[in-house]
Structure 1
Amino acid sequence: MYTYIPKGVCSKKIDFDIKDNKITNVNFTGGCSGNLQGISHLVEGLPVEETINRLKGIRCGFKITSCPDQFAKALEELVLKKTDV
């Protein structure tokens, strides 16, 4: 289980797993419950890179980021860490 603390959004924490390069068990703490549950279900089983491509750059109102964008950042950080090892 991975945990990411998002910045600049309403959600306070994102927990998720990656198995065989696919997203599983995504759970946002805080934020817009219905929307974030929907995102969690929609990305379930998607490859990491595809999820990043779909979510990166989404904005929330006038903010420069969003909960989906923060999830993409979490995945990118994880991918970068794995390539650094």
Structure 2
Amino acid sequence: MKYSYRTEGTCCQAFDIETEDGKIKDVQFYGGCNGNLQGICSLIKGMPIGDVIGKLQGIRCGSKPTSCPDQLSRALSLIVEKEGNGEK
């Protein structure tokens, strides 16, 4: 399934997520720190959604209350609520 998510409180404005069988198939960020976000995308491809949420949830960027990885974990949590537990 493909999803789009608009971020709040980060340099990245939005991202697209593609999942398959409870795992991350692809993520595309729009804006933000390009190199860091490419690295995150590469590392999480193929990972179970629940594992990604656990690793990225609560990460902050400087004095901001959130970050691009935290926003990704929030979006993935919404996907889990919609589709199931993310542990397929």
TM range, smaller chain: over 0.9
Extract structure 1 runs of 4+ deviating beyond 2 A.
none
5+ long unaligned stretches in structure 1: none
Measured in 1, the distance between the counterparts of 2:43 and 2:72 equals 13
CA-CA distance at 1:62 after TM superposition: 0.3
Equivalences, count: 83
Query: Structure 1-normalised TM-score?
Result: 0.94
CA-CA distance at 1:37 after TM superposition: 0.4
Q: Which residue of 2 is the match for residue 28 of structure 1?
A: 29
Aligned-residue CA RMSD (Å): 0.8
CA-CA distance at 1:25 after TM superposition: 1.3
- What secondary structure, in the 3-state scheme, does the structure 2 residue paired with 1:49 have? helix
Pairing 1:41–2:42 present: yes
5+ long unaligned stretches in structure 2: none
Q: Percent identity?
A: 48
